[in-house]
Structure formats: structure tokens, C-alpha cells
Amino acid sequence: RRRRRRQSNDKEENEKNDEAANSIPLGSGSGFTVHKDGYIVTNYHVIQRAYQINNATESVPKFLQGLRPKAVIKVRGLDASDSKLTTCRIVDVKPELDIAILKAEKYESNKATPLKYADSTKLLVGQRVVAIGNPFGLEKSVTSGVVSALNRNIDGVAGNKIRNCVQTDAAINPGNSGGPLLNSRGQVIGVNTMILSTTGSFAGVGFAVPASSVRKFADEAISKDFFK
């Protein structure tokens, strides 16, 4: 019996090792929950490669799909211990806003408290803000600053201009993308998206997609998905 148990455990461990060995990390970023059923907002460019890979797989005949690679998106921080990885599916994307909506599978509504939106059209220059994210993989890092300017138009991943963005001097670094920019009441005023720098390091100029634009798209995407 002991021998069989060890063999079973060895088999499970080998399967896990094989899965890990065949996995290729595509990138990482940040995100935040906006709905009690586990809907998450992040940047499109954070999950762009996964989205493209899965779209390419779905475009081939079904009998060939099993032969093509499939990207899996996993998030951490939805359970009390913050250690469990939860698989997510892509609900919808809007490259023109650099925003994506994910849905955590097997989600329990008591795992995380959804963030609330603020009216980003009423922001003031000089207003205190906080950025939360995972810069360089350092989870749940918090930086603070102010609204440096409003109504900035920045270059998006789709080749268009993302309009009315919030400029901030709160430190934003690689890994912060997709995380929330919050006001002093903990409400979302934007989604941290990019920095302006000649060196690749933060130089005090970061940008967030305004909450007003994010909320409109997110609410529509979640509503459509909810009633599928």
C-alpha cells in the first residue's frame, strides 16, 4: 500500500513538473476586482500575448486545436492567504483603451472586496493619489503622489490616442500596469498604464486611463458576459 501511494504521489508530482516544464511565462502585471462575482480589470497589453495566442488557436479547426499551444492566465491575491493562483478567462478586451476584463473561475464572493469607482471628471490637479501594483514582481506595493495634470492624450497599443488620461508622479514601474490609481477614499480614478521615460525607469511621469472610460467599458462587458 505504501508503495502504491508513493507511486501515485510520484505520478502526480511528475505531471506537475511536466506542466511546469512545458509552461512559458508570457509576462505579468497587476489588476483589481470590480465585481463580487470575480470580474477583474487590467491592461490589455498585460494579457495581449495570451489573447493573441488563444485567438490563433480558436481560428483553426477544432480537431487541430488540441495540437496548438493555449495561454493560461492566473492571478494571485483572491484568497485570504494570497498564495493561491486562480485561473482566469478573458471576458472582453478594448485595445483602444488598453483595457481588458477577466473573470476568475471558481470564484467565491468573499475572497476579495471589489473596488468602487470615483468620478474621474471631477479630479483636481494636485489631488493626492495612490498607486497599487506589483512592480518587478513585488506584490501589493503602494506608492503615493499627486495628480500632475489632466486630459493627457497618450499613445495606445492599438496605434490610437487614449484620451483624457490622468498624469501622476506616483511611482509606476514595470509590473504596475493594470493596477488601480486611487483617490484618498480608496476609489478608482484610473488604471495605471504607462510611463514617459528616456531610460525605461520611472522619471516622475506616469499615466492612467481615466476611470470614467474604464467603467463604461467594464460595465458593458460584464453585463454581456453575465447574461450569456
- Round to whole Å and give the CA distance between 131 and 193: 11
Q: Tell me if domain 2-114 and domain 120-217 are identical in fold.
A: yes
Does the active-site annotation cover 98? yes
Longest CA span, the chain: 70
Supply the pLDDT for residue 55.
83
Active-site pick, 30, 141, 148, 177: 177
Choice among 30, 45, 148, 213 that is catalytic: 45
What pLDDT is stored for residue 194 in this prediction? 93
Torsion of CA 85, 194, 211, 86, to 10 degrees: -10
- Whether the Cβ atoms of residue 126 and residue 169 lie closer than 8 Å to each other: no
Q: φ, ψ for residue 43 (rounded to 5)? A: -80, 145
The topology (CATH level 3) of 120-217 is Thrombin, subunit H (2.40.10)
Q: Which CATH architecture has domain 2-114?
A: Beta Barrel (2.40)
Q: Which residue has the cell 454581456?
A: 224
Any idea what DSSP says for residue 137? G
Domain locations along the chain = 2-114, 120-217
- Among 192, 154, 190, which residue's Cα sits nearest to residue 30? 192
Residue 37 annotated in active site: no
Closest CA to 147 of 78, 206, 221, 212: 206
For residues 217 and 210, what is the distance between their CA atoms, to the nearest angstrom? 11
Task: Give 117's DSSP letter.
Answer: B
Q: Please state, in angstroms and rounded to a whole number, the distance separating the CA atoms of residues 140 and 201.
A: 19
* Candidates 30, 35, 98, 141; catalytic one: 98
Q: How many whole angstroms separate alpha carbon 33 and alpha carbon 42?
A: 9
Q: What does the pLDDT read at residue 20?
A: 42
Active site residue 223: no
Task: Identify the pLDDT of residue 48.
Answer: 93
pLDDT at 54: 85
Q: E strands, 69-179, where?
A: 73-76, 85-94, 99-104, 128-133, 141-155, 161-168
pTM of the predicted model, to two decimals? 0.83
| CA 103/CA 81 separation, integer angstroms | 20
Q: What average pLDDT values come out for the chain (228 residues) when binned by 10 residues? A: 42 44 67 94 94 76 60 80 83 96 82 90 98 90 97 92 97 93 98 88 91 97 87
For residue 50, the tally of other CB atoms under 10 A from its CB is: 18
